[in-house]
Chains A and B, each alone.
Chain A
Amino acid sequence: MDRNQLAKWFRQPSKMANKYSLHAIYFCTGCGIIEIPPVITARWDAERFGVIPVATPRQANLFLITGYVSVKTLKAIVRTYEQMYEPKYTVGFGSCPVNGGMYWDSYHTIKHLDKYIPIDGWIAGCMPRPEAIFIAVTHLWTLIDKGMANGYEKYRKHYRSYRRNQEMALGKLDWPPLYQIAGSSQEPDHG
C-alpha cells in the first residue's frame, strides 16, 4: 500500500475500501464481453486492480456495459442497475453505448445509454484493449476520490426523468419505480 495514502485511509475508510474492491457484474450485453475473460483471468489479471467479477447484481458495485445495447437488453440493464446497491459505478465500454457506434441508424439499437441510466465513465474504441479497462479503472479511482463518480446520486435525484426516458424507449415498464416519484400513485419497490 502506498504510504502517501494513509491519511486518506484514516479520513474516509469506507470510500477507500470501495475504491479498491470493485465487484463487477458479469453481464454480457454485446460483443465487448469477449474482452472480459482475458481481463479477469491470468493474462491481464484484473484482481491486481481489485476488480473481481461476481455472479449477481446484488453483490456488485461496478457495471460494465460491454457493447451495443438493443431495446431488449436495455430492459435487462435497467433492472440490473436498479438491483445493485449503492455506491454503484457504471462504465460504458466500447463506442456503441456512447452513441450507437456502427449502429447509429439502426432501428433497434439504443443510441445514448446515458439517457436511461447514469454513466460514470466511457471507454472509447471498437473494441477497447484490456489495458483500456485498467486505465478506466484507475481513472475511476480518481473520480471516486474527488467525489465525481456520483452517477447513483444523479439517478436518485433525476429518477423521474430517467424513468420517463425508460418508458419512452421501452413502453410501459412492468416493474415498480425504485424511488418514490412525486405525484405518482405507484409505490417504490422495497423488495
Chain B
Amino acid sequence: MNGIHDMGGMHGMGPVQYEKNEPVFHADWESRVFALTLAMGAWGKWNIDASRHSREVIPPAEYLRMSYYEKWYAGLVGLLINSSLVTRAEVESGVPSPGSAKATPPLTADNIPAMLATRINASRDVKVTPRFQAGQRVRARNMHPVGHTRLPRYARGKVGTIERDHGVFVFPDTNAHFLGEKPQHVYSVRFAARELWGEQAAPRDSVYLAMWDDYLEPA
C-alpha cells in the first residue's frame, strides 16, 4: 500500500536525533509490548509479513505521532482481534469473556532459544527457476498494490542491475494476507543513486534493494 510507512526519499522529517547511551527500552511498557508481540507470534496465527502490515494500516497522522512501541501495541491489538485470539470487548475490559476456555501458552522461558533460532525463517528450500541472472539489467515494476508490499515507491519504474541471487524466499505480498507463500528468488539489485534521485545525487553512489522476482521485469 502507498502508506506513510513507505518513507524513503521523503523530505521534511527533520534531522536525525541521536541519544547517547540509549537504553534498550525507555519504559517498562515498551519492553512488555515487545515481549507480548514475540510471545503471541509463537501461536502461528500470523506471520512476520502480516505483523508488519498490521502497523502499516495505522492511519498516517497517527503513524507519525505514535512512538515505535505504541505502533507495535496498535498492531498487536489488530492481529489479536483479527485472528480471534481475543475479542475487542476483552481488550476494552481487560478480562476474558465469561466462559472462555483457558489455553496453554506455546512459548515458555525454556523454549525461547529454539524460538529465536527459527524466527523469521523466510528462506525456502524448494526448486524455483530464477527469472534473472547476476549482471542482468532489470526494471522494478510500476505497481501500486493496496495491500502489503516490500517494493518501496522510490524504486518503482527504476532500472537497476542484479548483483546477487540470494535464493528462494517467501513472497510478502501474498503471505501478509494469508494467500500463500509463493516462494521465489530474491536478488540484491543495485540502483545508481542518479537513477533514483537525478543529478543531485553523487555520481558513484548507489542504493541496494532486495527484490523478489515478481517485482522485476527485464530492462
**Bound together:** no
| Chain A residues near B (Cβ < 8 Å) | none
B interface residue numbers (CB < 8 A to A): none
